[in-house]
A and B are shown apart, each in its own frame.
Chain A
Amino acid sequence: AQKITQTQPGMFVQEKEAVTLDCTYDTSDPSYGLFWYKQPSSGEMIFLIYQGSYDQQNATEGRYSLNFQKARKSANLVISASQLGDSAMYFCAMREKGRSGTYKYIFGTGTRLKVLA
């Protein structure tokens, strides 16, 4: 079974509009973390936002917010007021404890976002 699922291979959004990128996850570790990364065409993975499993509030970082619904095991990224520079690949990732007790990071397959002028 997939640990991290991103069901939208590609998305379009009009400039200045908001967009939601979906992510669902599966883990038995009660103390997990969820991340979103942006990967522009240059290839570098840029950390955007983090949500801990015990965090009561949804995480926000500037124009990025994470819609965390723990019971549904979803961690959707919301980008408000989209800009042309937001066009990139977006990856959802989860950190959980592995069998050896160390942290493991698992990535989804990504969503390619294109912002239209």
Chain B
Amino acid sequence: EAGVAQSPRYKIIEKRQSVAFWCNPISGHATLYWYQQILGQGPKLLIQFQNNGVVDDSQLPKDRFSAERLKGVDSTLKIQPAKLEDSAVYLCASSFGQGRTKDTQYFGPGTRLTVL
């Protein structure tokens, strides 16, 4: 079974530029998550989708970050314009979703973003 795919793996941009990350979840997983992980910290949830609807975006800086999940499968996360403090690893995860007692998140390899 294929895992969660993410691209690109690495990205270096200058501040005020824009950047986009792509995620393809495990087939059949209804729930998709985007996390930001700053060096030395645990992952922080940015946004959670159930199919193509947003269920939690309370920690997403909406003035510069946006995300979509068209057709309930792939998702893109965009930052525009980027700031120095956005330098982090952006992790995508997916799970089967609601109703499953042992619902478990599986993560992609992440995208390491450096903002100069």
Footprint of B on A, CB under 8 Å? Answer: 4, 31, 33, 35, 37, 42-47, 50, 52, 91, 93, 95, 98, 100, 102-105, 107-110
The interface residues of chain A lying within 8 Å CB-to-CB of B31 are 103
Which residues of chain B are within 8 angstroms of A98 by Cβ–Cβ distance?
A: 56
In the docked arrangement, what's the CA distance between A103 and B97, Å?
8
Known: A50-B102, A91-B42, A107-B42. A44 touches B56 (CB 8 A): no
Residue ranges of B at the interface with A (Cβ–Cβ < 8 Å):
31, 33, 41-45, 48, 50, 55-56, 89, 91, 93, 97-98, 101-110, 112
Question: Is A105 in contact with B33, judged by CB distance below 8 angstroms?
Answer: yes
Q: Are B43 and A103 in contact (CB under 8 A)?
A: no
Contact A47 B41 (CB under 8 A): no
Q: Which residues of B contact A93 (CB under 8 A)?
A: 105
A and B contact pairs by CB, cutoff 8 A, 7 listed: A37-B107, A43-B112, A45-B43, A47-B104, A50-B102, A50-B104, A104-B56
Known contacts A33-B102, A102-B48; 17 additional CB pairs below 8 A are A42-B109, A43-B109, A43-B110, A44-B107, A45-B91, A45-B93, A45-B107, A46-B107, A91-B42, A93-B105, A95-B103, A98-B56, A100-B56, A102-B50, A105-B105, A107-B42, A108-B42
Residues of B within 8 A of A100 (CB): 55-56
Contact of A109 among B42, B105, B106 (CB under 8 A): B42
A22–chain B nearest beta-carbon distance, Å: 15
Which chain B residue has the least Cβ–Cβ distance from A110? B42
Contact A52 B109 (CB under 8 A): no
In the complex, A43→B42 CA distance in Å? Answer: 12
Q: How far is the CB of B82 from chain A (nearest CB, A)?
A: 19
* Residues of chain A lying within 8 A (CB to CB) of residue B105: 35, 47, 93, 105
